[in-house]
């Protein structure tokens, strides 16, 4: 089968691999589509490190072509989405319900072969059946949706609160829909690209901001009578926008660090400011216990993921896809083996 993996030099290469064999508790899927996310771009561009010789890709959907002998709840021809994160279920964090913080966590497409290939084998418990009323390709956005749901859970948004989302990429636009649907007050989205701002406005944002021509903090101050917003969700992952988030939130507010920053990024924060303004700074990591909810939301059609697919490319052109994804103009590039 054709696959895309990192070689020993950290280069993304295309090569033939054997179709993997299925163990008793596993399923083999034919990959329908796999998204190129920001973390993938960081790895492919050498910003973050990646494990060599592993087939990348963790946001994917596929059709089951073979099931192991002990698999009972899935069958051949089922369309499934994949939860890539595999906890050990034995460590302290797992036993206290924080499986995403597992000290032995492994991930499909990071530590184990993933979705940038024609076929992928995975534990059956990591596969979630997609309802038949949904076009299969949309399933490639289920894992990002599940991550966004965990972020919303973490920041505990209440009806009527004013929200600022910094970054209108795929995750920022998913979060925009979630907070609008959840009854937020004013919803602001800061995004430099017009196409993404237009989508955010169409999804219900009260005000979209072009940070290249407007002063973000001035806009928030003017629109909130000087108090700032109740919650800021930073969905970019840069030092500059993280500091903007802290400045834009009102006293007593919450800031969610949702965007994945490069590992070497550092910021200067005043502990006194956090203390005096009684700010809450939160992180959000992956998707614990939210995949079923993501499937339910997709099935209900209360969230629109179709416009977030900006490019679809064949696996043979994955390097071009990485270049497209790294420009910032695309929303979500999907690879179709």
Where in the sequence numbering do the catalytic residues fall?
Answer: 39, 42
3-state secondary structure of 82: strand
Token reading at 185: 């007050």
Give the Cα-Cα-Cα angle 295, 299, 302 (nearest 5 degrees): 105
Cα 10 to Cα 50: distance, rounded to the nearest angstrom? 7
Give the Cα-Cα-Cα angle 145, 150, 151 (nearest 5 degrees): 95
Helix axis angle, 216-223 to 239-248, nearest 10°: 20
CB neighbour list of residue 122: distance below 8 Å, 6 or more residues apart:
26, 27, 29, 82, 108, 112
3-state secondary structure of 114: coil
Which residue in the block uniquely carries the two structure tokens 């530590």? 111
Residue 261 phi, psi dihedral angles, 5° rounding: -85, 150
């Amino acid at each position: 089968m054709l696959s895309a993996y990192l070689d020993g030099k950290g280069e993304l290469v295309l090569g033939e691999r054997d179709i993997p064999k299925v163990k008793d508790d596993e399923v083999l899927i034919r990959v329908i589509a796999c998204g190129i996310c920001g973390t993938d771009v960081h790895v492919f561009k050498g910003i973050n490190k990646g494990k060599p010789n592993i087939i990348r890709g963790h946001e994917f959907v596929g059709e089951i072509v073979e099931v192991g002998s002990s698999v009972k709840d899935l069958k051949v021809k089922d369309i499934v989405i994949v939860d890539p994160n595999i906890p050990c279920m034995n460590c302290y964090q797992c036993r206290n319900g924080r499986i995403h913080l597992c000290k032995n966590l492994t991930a499909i497409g990071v530590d184990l072969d993933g979705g940038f290939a024609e076929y992928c084998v995975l534990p059956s418990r990591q596969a979630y059946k997609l309802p038949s009323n949904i076009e299969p390709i949309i399933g490639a956005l289920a894992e990002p949706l599940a991550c966004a749901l965990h972020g919303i859970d973490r920041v505990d948004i209440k009806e009527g609160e004013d929200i600022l989302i910094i970054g209108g990429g795929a995750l920022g636009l998913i979060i925009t829909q979630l907070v609008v649907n959840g009854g937020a007050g004013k919803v602001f989205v800061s995004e430099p690209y017009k196409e993404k701002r237009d989508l955010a406005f169409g999804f219900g944002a009260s005000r979209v901001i072009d940070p290249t021509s407007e002063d973000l903090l001035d806009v928030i101050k003017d629109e909130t009578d000087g108090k700032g917003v109740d919650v800021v969700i930073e969905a970019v992952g840069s030092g500059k926008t993280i500091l903007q988030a802290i400045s834009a939130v009102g006293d007593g507010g919450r800031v969610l660090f949702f965007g994945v920053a490069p590992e070497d990024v550092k910021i200067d924060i005043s502990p006194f400011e956090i203390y005096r303004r009684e700010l809450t700074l939160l992180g959000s990591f992956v998707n614990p216990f939210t995949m079923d909810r993501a499937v339910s939301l997709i099935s209900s059609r209360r969230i629109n993921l179709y416009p977030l697919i900006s490019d679809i490319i064949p696996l043979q052109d994955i390097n071009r896809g990485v270049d497209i994804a790294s420009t910032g103009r695309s929303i979500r590039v999907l690879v179709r083996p």
